[in-house]
Structure 1
Amino acid sequence: MALTDAGFTDYDIDRSVVLFTMMDDTTRVPCAISTDAMDQLEGAKRTPPGQREQQFLRLRDKIGERASQKFIAVELEGKPPGIILRAIDFRG
């Protein structure tokens, strides 16, 4: 089953990732996407920190689709297990 969007959580400037969640039925799946991946998707260079949430919202469909693909393929990382999207996940 594909994941559904649960929304933006936070921008972690120290790790250069946007944190978000997806839902697998009633279970929250923690997710993150690198700022490099978002900039690559949008064709931007160094989006300012104050604009990361808006950038995520513009890209949420593409991000959610790729997160679902990784979830179905059981490509989970970390503790608790979650999905981490990097620029390489959107190439090709």
Structure 2
Amino acid sequence: MSFTSGSFRGYDEDRSVVLFSMINDLTEVPCAISSDAMDFLDGAKRTPPAQREQQFMRLRASIESCAERKFANAEMEGRPPGIILRRLDFRS
């Protein structure tokens, strides 16, 4: 299994999540991370929507590592099945 970076999809302001994807072999896996989780990782409070892409890129390695862990543990949810990262996924 090869789980690698996919694409940045954008910030969904209605749901307060950044949408991105990961690639499992040849299959694209939809992923999302809550803005609360990103602010927790970044030590920030209420990052403006216009800065979410920049914040995601800065934190991308940590975010994708967590997504890979959840994928390996078969922690998929939603329809279509995907990875959703929340603040609690980054607590020690």
Shorter-normalised TM range:
over 0.9
Q: Summarize the alignment of residues 14-29 of structure 1 with structure 2, pairs less than 5 Å apart.
A: 14-29=14-29
Cα distance in 2 between the residues matched to 1:34 and 1:40: 10
5+ residue gaps, structure 2:
none
- 1:19: how far off? 0.2
Letter in 2 for 1:71: F
Q: Summarize the alignment of residues 1-92 of structure 1 with structure 2, pairs less than 5 Å apart.
A: 1-92=1-92
CA RMSD of aligned residues (A): 0.7
Runs of 4+ in 1 over 6 A off after TM superposition: none
Contact 1:2 1:72 in 2 (8 A): no
Letter in 2 for 1:90: F
Structure with the greater relative contact order (CA < 8 A, sep ≥ 6): 1 or 2?
A: 1
Letter in 1 for 2:84: I
- 1:10: how far off? 1.2
Contact 1:77 1:83 in 2 (8 A): yes
Counting matched residue pairs gives 92
Q: TM-score, with normalisation over the residues of structure 2?
A: 0.97
Cα distance in 1 between the residues matched to 2:3 and 2:20: 12
Q: TM-score, with normalisation over the residues of structure 1?
A: 0.97
**What fraction of aligned residue pairs are identical, expressed as a percent?**
64
Contact 1:2 1:69 in 2 (8 A): no
Cα distance in 2 between the residues matched to 1:38 and 1:88: 11
